[in-house]
Homo-oligomer: A and B are copies of this chain.
Amino acid sequence: MNEFELIRRHFTRAAPDAVLGVGDDAAILRPAPGCDLHVSVDMLVEGRHFFADVDPEALGHKTLAVNLSDMAAMGATPRWAVLALALPQLDAGWAEAFARGFFALAAEHGVSVVGGDTTRGPLTLAVTIFGETPRGQALRRDAARPGDDIWVSGELGLAAAALRQRLGTLDMVLPDACLQKLERPQPRVALGRALLPLVRAALDVSDGFAGDLSHILSRSACAAEVWLERLPTHAALAAHRDRLWSCIAAGGDDYELCFTADPAQAAAIQAAAAAVGVAVSKVGRIVAGSGLRLLDAAGNEVQLESLGYDHFAQA
């Protein structure tokens, strides 16, 4: 047995929900009858998605969390995952800590790891995740309609502020919640499931609120008005909104849900969110047309660029 076998061992756990888990040419799954199967993949690369010195346990958590967030955005119940990883060296301690973070979050969400691949290479992590919804009931990006309210969960901009502080482009004392959000995001899986019967379109906010909402608009062929002052953020950041608009409106790494719903559902949405312990905020509305209009407190349109957003930093 070589060291790669030892590392693989850290990633081989029982998969009681699978017909066949790790160890064959493929895993065998039996999706629940009457359900649709949801599949999503995310790849994380050192130096691009995380720092080389990141705590491996936190990285294990985040690697799965960003995928769980995609399941949350569909309203899907996550069930299985496969993990492919390239590792630059054979570091059993690193692998054990990474696996600890990954599998702790997997257990919390009832996800079985049913397969994977391990190779030597620049540190790269690719998770493919599988979830289920009742047939035909997923929260898609193309279902928004004019008249819908636009909602967002939790608080925006915390992770982006922590990242900028780390990069030296933001000089400000930040609450611990910011680094926590950057390193250990909590995917809104329970919220997504709770919203399934109540909302129309949804996605997760991972690349910045404004850009992500624009995906709903283009796929649903409609426009939106968003009231900037209503975008939820941490109180410590709200006090410095004017410096932090680009973090709040377009920062990325939020892993919150943005969704649209018939205004008649507002009370039910508030109740469902409260039941799973997540705050939700109504931040705008879907209108006919195309494009996203960001409005200030006086109702005047504000350009994203004037908030400090740099298109060319997002490639």
Decide if A37 touches B43 in the complex (CB within 8 Å). Answer: no
Knowing A4-B315, A43-B86, A86-B45 touch, does A38 contact B26 (C-beta < 8 A)?
A: yes
Residue in chain B with minimal CB distance to A71: B26
A 240-263 to B, binary, CB cutoff 8 A, 1 in contact else 0? 000000000000000000000000
For residue A299, CB closer than 8 A to chain B, the reply is: no
Residue numbers in B under 8 Å from A138 (CB-CB) = 20, 26, 28
A114 vs B2: C-alpha distance in the bound complex, in angstroms? 35
Q: Which of A49, A121, A142 has the most CB of B within 10 A?
A: A121
Decide if A85 touches B41 in the complex (CB within 8 Å). Answer: no
Which stretch in A91-99, A101-109, A122-130 binds the other chain? A122-130
For residue A115, CB closer than 8 A to chain B, the reply is: yes
Residue numbers in B under 8 Å from A25 (CB-CB) = 40, 70-71, 73-74, 141, 202-204
For residue A140, CB closer than 8 A to chain B, the reply is: yes
For residue A190, CB closer than 8 A to chain B, the reply is: no
Knowing A43-B117, A120-B315, A121-B122 touch, does A38 contact B27 (C-beta < 8 A)?
A: yes
For residue A314, CB closer than 8 A to chain B, the reply is: yes
Decide if A41 touches B204 in the complex (CB within 8 Å). Answer: no
For residue A76, CB closer than 8 A to chain B, the reply is: yes
Decide if A26 touches B40 in the complex (CB within 8 Å). Answer: yes
Residue numbers in B under 8 Å from A204 (CB-CB) = 25
Residue numbers in B under 8 Å from A116 (CB-CB) = 41
Q: Which of A2, A29, A37, A80 has the most CB of B within 10 A?
A: A37
Decide if A43 touches B126 in the complex (CB within 8 Å). Answer: yes
Please give the distance in Å from A143's CB to the nearest CB on chain B.
10
A 126-153 to B, binary, CB cutoff 8 A, 1 in contact else 0? 1011110001001011100000000000
One of B40, B48, B115 near A120 (C-beta < 8 A): B48
Binding site for B on A (CB under 8 A): 2-4, 19-20, 23-31, 33, 36-49, 70-71, 73-74, 76, 80, 82-86, 90, 114-117, 119-122, 124, 126, 128-131, 135, 138, 140-142, 202-204, 219, 311-312, 314-315
Q: Can you list 16 A-B pairs, Cβ within 8 angstroms, ordered by A?
A: A2-B311, A23-B219, A24-B141, A25-B40, A26-B70, A28-B138, A29-B37, A31-B31, A31-B37, A39-B115, A40-B82, A43-B119, A43-B124, A45-B121, A45-B124, A121-B124
**CB-based closest 7 A-B pairs:** A45-B121, A25-B73, A26-B40, A126-B126, A43-B84, A122-B122, A128-B128
